[in-house]
Amino acid sequence: MKFNKKRAAGSAKINTASLPDIVFMLLFFFMVATTMREVTIKVKNSTPSASEVEKLTKKNLVSYIYVGAPVSALQDEFGTATRLQLNDAFKSKDDVRAFVETERNKLYEDDKAKMIVSIKADRDVKMGIITDVKQELRKANALKLTYSTRKKAADDKGDLN
């Protein structure tokens, strides 16, 4: 019996016919599992972690308010003081009500009462500005609020401070 058959001179061709299928599968996975980036975040945004978190399932009901110091690339222009970001621009707390109104008008009539505002604040922010935002939200009658946090294990009892 002859074991070593004569090989063809060139290297053997790999069949790549299924490669598009594999890549399409990956593509669909990412299309389903991810969400579109809607705004460019201009403030530092490392949210604190907490264990008692709830997931926000209905993305379309949620409006985001970003709070934090401007990112280092923008600090020359805007300084290092804590800023409020609504959509794509730095705003003051007086604009919160108008922002809530426009966001609410984007929703269907049935969903307007279910609107949720999510505050994405940096962990180094002071409570003063958060309180101001909360008061504005109360005035705008947007009473469902979540503090965006990362998940951590339930038995972690905070930091020792």
Partner 1 sequence: MARKSRETPEINAGSMADIAFLLLIFFLVTTTMDSDSGISIKLPPWEDKPQENETKYKARNVLEVLVNSNNQLLVEGELLKVNQLRDKTKKFITNYGADENLSVSPDKAIVSLKNDRATSYKTYIDVQNELKAAYREVREAYSLSKYGRKYDQLNPTQEEEVQNKFPQKISEAEPETIGKE
User: Footprint of partner 1 on residues 45-84 (CB under 8 A)?
Assistant: 48, 50-56, 59, 62, 67
d(CA 42, CA 88): 8
Q: Ramachandran region of residue 81, left (φ > 0), alpha (ψ -120 to 50) or beta?
A: beta
Using alpha carbons only, give the angle 99, 100, 106 rounded to the nearest 5 degrees. 95
User: Could you count the other beta carbons within 10 Å of the beta carbon of residue 111?
Assistant: 13
Structure tokens belonging to residue 63? 């409006």
Which is closer to partner 1, CB of 107 or CB of 116? 116
Counting contacts by CB under 8 A, is residue 138 touching partner 1? yes
Structure tokens belonging to residue 127? 């409570």
Which is closer to partner 1, CB of 95 or CB of 122? 122
Counting contacts by CB under 8 A, is residue 107 touching partner 1? no
Question: Which spans of this chain sit near partner 1 (rule: CB under 8 A)?
Answer: 16-17, 19-20, 23-24, 26-27, 30-31, 33-37, 48, 50-56, 59, 62, 67, 116, 118, 121-131, 134-135, 137-139, 141-151, 154, 157-161
